[in-house]
Chains A and B, each alone.
Chain A
Amino acid sequence: MDYFLTEEQKMIQELTEQIAREKIRPIRAELDESEEFPWEIMRTLAQADLFGLYIPEQYGGMGGGVFDNCLAVEKLGEACIGIATSFAASGLGAYPILLFGSEEMKQKYLPQIASGKRLAAFGLTEPGAGSDVSGIRTVAVKDGDSYVLNGSKQWITNGGESEIYSVLAITDRAKGPRGASFFVVEKGDPGFFFGKKEKKLGIRASATRELIFQDCRIPADRLIAKEGMGFIIAMKTFDKSRPGIAALGVGLAQGALDIAVEYARKRVQFEKPIISFQAIQHKLADMAVKTEAARALVYSVARYMDSEPREVSKVAAMTKVFAGDVAMEVSTNAVQVLGGYGYMKDYPVEKMMRDAKILQIYEGTNEIQRNIIGQELNKEYGRLKESFI
């Protein structure tokens, strides 16, 4: 399929494909086993200018948008979404600063993130606050020229590895959802610690840790935007990042499809390659249709988002829910096509199936995405004067 990409976008694809082929594929199984953080690949991605794809040129980035970033994570995700998640999580951590940070804050942090010299991370989830963000317990209290943070964040991607953290904390509990605020916390700030590294079903090359704040004192100018903006910043950040998660799903589905088709052409049973059997053909056909449909949706939404429209929550959620579900289904079917071999660690599809599950969970579960889409539909149709009945 020709998606009429620009010259520059084709270069992004070419470059990320080369990195996936030469640097990621040869070591993905090893990192999955050892759960080692892929620092060497992060350095390669940094040197290739990829951490700055969506960051404006004035802050050291490449000046692209959501679409450019999607193209990159898709290709990296074809090889390993554990590694690609480590890459993408830095963007998630950067977006609160990019979208809402003061000029000074942007000048300080964005060039470091764009160059890949320092990774960013995003701290929202807590033991008692996942889908229900209002359950957040971490507090930030203003004290002179500082804020003092107390509490903990759970399952933070790149936790312990990143140096720059965008963290959500309550500044005024009485105000409910309007009482939360975002802060930048740096590795090394007094009172900022990391908990144990989590053991996971998939994306094991990515690091997931707890963030612990014990009287963590940070300068007051680390507040992003104003007090009370926290939830808005979180929602706007997710709008930007969800197509990226969807692109990981497209990549993973494509990677699984590639292996399934190649295998089905070679594997002989009943004296024929198994691709000659309709049971396999139809399965592969459905996998291909869904993968391409997910790609088409992600690309068109990402392109639309880069035109800076006002409302994007619904379409951003659509990409995440659809591509996430497709990735799970396609990778599961890829294991089925490979049969016993697919279930063994000799082929990468069992890892892909384990990895795919997270796409339906993190950055807002797919149930939450459907809530967002449903609520937006209700709002949209409520505004319409016309009846269709």
Chain B
Amino acid sequence: MHIVVCIKQVPDTKNVRIDPDTHTLVRQGVESIINPFDMFAIEGALKIKDQNGARVTVVTMGPPQASEALRETLGLGVDDAVLLSDRAFAGSDTWATSTTLSAAIRKMGDVDLILCGKQAVDGDTAQVGPEMAALLDVPYATFVKNIDTRESGFVKVVRQTDEGTEVWRLQLPALMTVIKELGEPRVPSLRHKMRAKKAEVAVWGTAELGLDPNSTGLSGSFTQVVRVFSPQRRGNRIQLEGSIENQVEQLFQHLKKARVPGL
């Protein structure tokens, strides 16, 4: 079984700031992380690999630096990594992104299962997964929390919806977007980390993917962001972190410092 996981690099959400003049994300000095939901997708793929054996390929679209994120996934036990990188890809909306990613899946040819996080924590659109399924003409399921691959040629998944859970059976190849319940990401292993250090990360551009540059990037996008605005900042805000007990203690100290009567 060949599983492909699509990942996205996002700014570390703990440090997101919006430029008050341009209304765009301040990316300078902000660390990038792999979208947390994509990490669950990787864990899901690796679990299938552990149980039944599978080849796992991770793919991302991004600038050359994104190969570092791919290398990180190799340290977890992912077999291969592909970076989709081309100047023509710049400014992609979800449609252009899906076009590019699905071209990569098509180029690989033998893919049985495609896993994506349910959404990226920066854009929050949750569109790329389903769009890829449409472009590849394969069945898909969203908000998946369990994947059973024991039946040959099919996959049984459990979806989490607001109303409850649903069990679906899909014919392979298929695509699913996954949620946290699929599994907390594992830590890397030393052997995989060492291999990752030396591993080659393939880089595919429009030429390798056989894509018309006009169908990708800004020119291949149907939507454009006209304006982004940040909601008005409200005074001094403090975000508490740590265990609940610890947060309560911190909160108590803040209230005490603010001389809340009775404390």
Q: Which residues of A contact B (CB under 8 A)?
A: 7-8, 11-12, 14-15, 18-19, 22-23, 26, 44, 47-50, 53, 62, 346
Contact with A along B241-263 (1 / 0, CB 8 A): 00100100100000000000000
Are A26 and B243 interface neighbours, CB within 8 A? yes
Given known A-B contacts A26-B243, A346-B249, A15 and B188 have beta carbons under 8 A apart: yes
Name 17 interchain pairs, CB-CB below 8 A, sorted by A: A7-B197, A8-B194, A12-B190, A15-B188, A15-B190, A15-B193, A18-B187, A19-B187, A23-B187, A44-B186, A47-B187, A48-B187, A48-B190, A49-B189, A62-B190, A346-B246, A346-B249
Q: Which residues of B contact A62 (CB under 8 A)?
A: 190-191
Within 201-256 of B, Cβ neighbours of A (below 8 Å) are at 243, 246, 249
**Given A18-B188, A22-B187, 7 more pairs with CB closer than 8 A:** A15-B188, A18-B187, A26-B243, A44-B187, A47-B187, A62-B191, A346-B249
CA separation between A48 and B190, bound complex, in Å? 6
CA separation between A49 and B188, bound complex, in Å? 9
Instruction: Select the residue from B190, B191, B193, B243 with max chain A CB neighbours within 10 A.
Output: B190
Are A47 and B189 interface neighbours, CB within 8 A? yes
Q: Which residues of B contact A (CB under 8 A)?
A: 186-191, 193-194, 197, 243, 246, 249
Q: Which residues of B contact A15 (CB under 8 A)?
A: 187-190, 193
Q: Which residues of B contact A50 (CB under 8 A)?
A: 190
Are B187 and A49 interface neighbours, CB within 8 A? no
Who on chain A is nearest to B186 by CB?
A: A47
Are A48 and B188 interface neighbours, CB within 8 A? yes
Are A49 and B190 interface neighbours, CB within 8 A? yes
A-B contact count (CB 8 A): 37
Q: Which residues of A contact B197 (CB under 8 A)?
A: 7, 11
> Mostly helix, strand, loop or mixed at chain A's interface?
helix
CA separation between A44 and B190, bound complex, in Å? 12
Instruction: Select the residue from A15, A22, A44, A50 with max chain B CB neighbours within 10 A.
Output: A15
CA separation between A22 and B190, bound complex, in Å? 17
CA separation between A7 and B190, bound complex, in Å? 12
Q: Which residues of B contact A12 (CB under 8 A)?
A: 190
Q: Which residues of A contact B189 (CB under 8 A)?
A: 15, 47-49
CA separation between A346 and B188, bound complex, in Å? 31
**A73 nearest CB across to chain B (Å):** 14
CA separation between A49 and B191, bound complex, in Å? 7
Q: Which residues of A contact B186 (CB under 8 A)?
A: 44, 47
Instruction: Select the residue from A22, A47, A50 with max chain B CB neighbours within 10 A.
Output: A47
Q: Which residues of A contact B194 (CB under 8 A)?
A: 8, 11
CA separation between A7 and B187, bound complex, in Å? 19
CA separation between A50 and B189, bound complex, in Å? 8
CA separation between A287 and B187, bound complex, in Å? 32
Who on chain B is nearest to A72 by CB?
A: B190
**B178 nearest CB across to chain A (Å):** 20
**B196 nearest CB across to chain A (Å):** 10
Q: Which residues of A contact B246 (CB under 8 A)?
A: 346
**B258 nearest CB across to chain A (Å):** 15
Who on chain A is nearest to B246 by CB?
A: A346
**A251 nearest CB across to chain B (Å):** 18
Who on chain B is nearest to A68 by CB?
A: B190
CA separation between A193 and B188, bound complex, in Å? 37
**A71 nearest CB across to chain B (Å):** 11
CA separation between A207 and B86, bound complex, in Å? 55
Q: Which residues of A contact B249 (CB under 8 A)?
A: 346
CA separation between A128 and B25, bound complex, in Å? 69
**A49 nearest CB across to chain B (Å):** 4
Instruction: Select the residue from B187, B191, B197, B243 with max chain A CB neighbours within 10 A.
Output: B187
